Amino acid sequence: MPLTTTQTLIIMGAMTLGTVITRFLPFILFRTPKSEHSVITYLGQTLPYAAIGLLVVYCLKGVTFTATSGWVPEAISIAFTTLLHVWKGNTLLSIGLGTVLYMVLVQVVFV
């Protein structure tokens, strides 16, 4: 069933309002300096690591140990990415080169 112009505009308005509220509400609620909100400071320090951990678990959920091609490329790529990040400290470089290495391993080496 196609939507009418009015229905489409209402949906677009509701989506815009929801986006604006979720983007600006934290700035409205927490106008005071950051140091006064210890919970926000704590979340700002811990959530990035939690997100990375969640991404690693999500990426490795399909790993199988029945064949070497099921886990060796992942292990090599994780070790490479970790060592590169410890050495250079550049997140984009580590993730980018780790992804390139993984793709080469999966598509060329472990076919």
R_g of the chain, CA atoms, integer Å: 22
Distance CA 21, CA 25 (A): 5
Using one digit for the tens of pLDDT, what is the confidence trace for 40-66? 778 888 988 888 889 889 988 988 888
- Tokens 């704590």 -> residue: 42
The verdict on pTM exceeding 0.75 is no
The ranges assigned to domains in the chain are 1-31, 34-109
Using one digit for the tens of pLDDT, what is the confidence trace for 9-45? 999 999 999 999 999 988 887 777 655 677 777 888 8
Determine the 3-state secondary structure of 58 from DSSP. helix
